[in-house]
Amino acid sequence: MTTFEAIPIPRISKGSAYITSGDGKAIPLGAEELRRAFDAIMHDDDSDLITTGEAAQILGVSSKTVARIRDAGEIPFTRYGAKGNRMVSRARVVAYRNQSEANGHKALEDMRVSASRGGLDDVDHAACLSHFN
């Protein structure tokens, strides 16, 4: 088993992978540790179920928004426990977040291209804003 030593975050080299320990320190990761960490995070293990509240924290949205996403079928869920609470796979929530971010980046790039083709990047923004003052 590998032993990891936490060091102050400012001592981490720029561009290096690390895991923060929550106390202002970090554990640097080599290429193999980073690969294993990604494998552990992305492994679609349905036994790693989380609540909608936990999914909301990962996605940066409210629990109600997660419920709407879940009920729309965008993130599969499992009924769990005596009360039948709906739980979701952590890996599927992370995959949904990554895909949503990728879609947002693509949409923004598409808008930039359209603005450039339409000549909108040559607009004098100060002059436009002066009409509203």
Domains recognised in the chain with CATH numbers: 1-42 (no CATH), 51-133 (1.10.1660)
pLDDT band at 15 (very low <50, low <70, confident <90, very high): confident
Q: What is the pLDDT of residues 62-101, one digit of tens each?
A: 999 999 999 999 999 888 777 788 899 999 999 999 999 9
What's residue 42's pLDDT?
Answer: 65
Q: Supply the pTM of this predicted model.
A: 0.55
Q: What is the pLDDT of residues 28-68, one digit of tens each?
A: 888 888 887 777 766 655 568 899 999 999 999 999 999 99
Residue 51's closest CA among 87, 83, 78?
Answer: 87
As given in the structure block, the two tokens for residue 44 are: 């679609």
Phi/psi at 76 (nearest 5 deg)? Answer: -65, 150
Residue 10's closest CA among 26, 34, 21, 31?
Answer: 26
